[in-house]
């Protein structure tokens, strides 16, 4: 069986300082993680990244550089975003410990991602909306923001604890991790296509009645992400939308 941590992507979004990328790679390697993904870093590759990686150059060398978040999340079925403060995005909150356990459990079934934001501004609301939950390291409320690589270290440590906990559990019980489910979970890209379809269908059935659709779409996103849909369920939901669109066309006097 492949190691579930191979499925665990640490995704740094829009990193400004190459030193932080190197320090993050080092933080990951010390905790047994290796799948680093970079989205539009400002300076990379850069000698400063290698200096601060201090021997974790293999993690840096293997790190794909993506032009956008979509490409970094391709194939992922579970995504969490770290944030130093509460945002105006209605997302469930997780502690680092809960997040590490949930990520590891989900990584047994396919690729998952943990997102880290920009040094100056963190993750944008649009990026957080791609996440199933947001993860906050409980810090001093008056001084809540850690250095990016320090935040990667804390979460990598929690992931390490979760791995060790699982390994001890397996050793004690003599049983391996739960078997792979019959139906694969929906990937982030399948979910995005579903949300686009839902948005379109809601317009066609005139659900919003002239009101702005953003709030409803945010709530619906949260609902569907919480449900942990599998690929087949997404197909069924899209089938329902297609039927609703067909009926709306008939009601408008068009042809089925
Ligand atoms: N001024 C930014 C700070 C970003 S710190 C803001 O207010 O969002 C850079 C990144 O480090 C964050 O995007 C997040 O990924 C991580 N980080 C820093 N402090 C954190 C904390 N207390 N909990 C979770 N992640 C944190």
- pLDDT tens string 204-233: 999 999 999 999 999 999 999 888 899 999
Given 173, 204, 238, the domain boundary residue is 173
Asked whether residue 23 falls in the same domain as residue 150, the answer is yes
Asked whether residue 14 falls in the same domain as residue 85, the answer is yes
For the chain, what is the domain count? 2
Given 106, 140, 173, the domain boundary residue is 173
**More confident position, 29 or 3:** 29
Nearest-angstrom CA–CA distance, 205 and 251 = 10
User: How many angstroms is it from 6 CA to the middle of ligand 1?
Assistant: 24
Residue nearest to atom 6 of ligand 1 (CA): 122
Residue 197 confidence (pLDDT): 95
93 sits in which H/E element: strand 93-94
Q: What is the DSSP letter of 206?
A: T
**Three-state DSSP string of 40-90:** CCCCCCCHHHHHHHCCCHHHHHCCCEECCHHHHHCCCCEEEEECCCCCCCC
pLDDT in tens, 17-29: 999 999 999 999 9
pTM: 0.79
Is 1 part of any domain? no
Is residue 45 a contact partner of residue 51, using CB atoms and an 8 Å limit?
no
**More confident position, 214 or 255:** 214
What CATH number should be reported for the domain holding residue 247? 1.10.8.590
Is residue 108 a contact partner of residue 180, using CB atoms and an 8 Å limit?
yes
Cβ atoms < 10 Å from Cβ of 243: 11
Is 136 part of any domain? yes
Task: Name the strands in the sheet holding 133-135, side by side, starting at the edge strand that comes first in the sequence.
Answer: 65-66, 36-39, 8-13, 112-116, 78-82, 133-135, 93-94
Is 183 part of any domain? no
| Closest to 17 measured CA to CA, from 41, 50, 47, 39 | 41
Asked whether residue 164 falls in the same domain as residue 77, the answer is yes
Cβ of 13 less than 6 Å from ligand 1: no
Asked whether residue 241 falls in the same domain as residue 114, the answer is no
User: How many angstroms is it from 137 CA to the middle of ligand 1?
Assistant: 9
Is 182 part of any domain? no
User: How many angstroms is it from 252 CA to the middle of ligand 1?
Assistant: 49
Cβ of 147 less than 6 Å from ligand 1: no
Nearest-angstrom CA–CA distance, 138 and 57 = 30
What CATH number should be reported for the domain holding residue 152? 3.40.1280.10
Cβ of 123 less than 6 Å from ligand 1: yes
Residue nearest to atom 18 of ligand 1 (CA): 146
Domain of 21, in residue numbers: 8-173
Measured from the CA of 123, which atom of ligand 1 is nearest? Answer: 13
């Amino acid at each position: 069986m492949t190691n579930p941590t191979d499925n665990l992507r640490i995704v740094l979004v829009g990193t400004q300082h190459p030193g932080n990328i190197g320090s993050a790679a080092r933080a990951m390697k010390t905790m047994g993680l290796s799948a680093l993904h970079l989205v539009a870093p400002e300076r990379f590759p850069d000698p400063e990244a290698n200096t601060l990686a201090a021997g974790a150059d293999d993690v840096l060398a293997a790190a794909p550089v993506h032009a956008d978040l979509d490409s970094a999340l391709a194939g992922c079925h579970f995504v969490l975003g770290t944030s130093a403060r509460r945002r105006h995005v209605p997302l469930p909150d997780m502690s680092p410990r809960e997040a590490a356990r949930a990520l590891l459990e989900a990584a047994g079934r396919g690729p998952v991602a943990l997102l880290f934001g920009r040094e100056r501004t963190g993750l944008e609301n649009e990026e957080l909306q791609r996440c199933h939950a947001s993860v906050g390291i409980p810090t001093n409320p008056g001084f809540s923001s850690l250095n990016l690589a320090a935040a990667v270290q804390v979460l990598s440590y929690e992931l390490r604890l979760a791995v060790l906990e699982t390994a001890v559990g397996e050793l004690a019980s003599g049983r391996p991790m739960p078997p792979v489910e019959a139906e694969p979970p929906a990937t982030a890209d399948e979910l995005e296509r579903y949300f686009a379809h839902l948005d379109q269908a809601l317009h066609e059935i005139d659900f919003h009645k002239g009101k702005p659709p953003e709030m409803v779409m945010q709530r619906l996103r949260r609902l569907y992400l919480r449900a942990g849909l599998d690929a087949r369920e997404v197909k069924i939901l899209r089938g329902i939308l297609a039927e609703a669109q067909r009926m709306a066309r008939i009601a408008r006097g068009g042809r089925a």
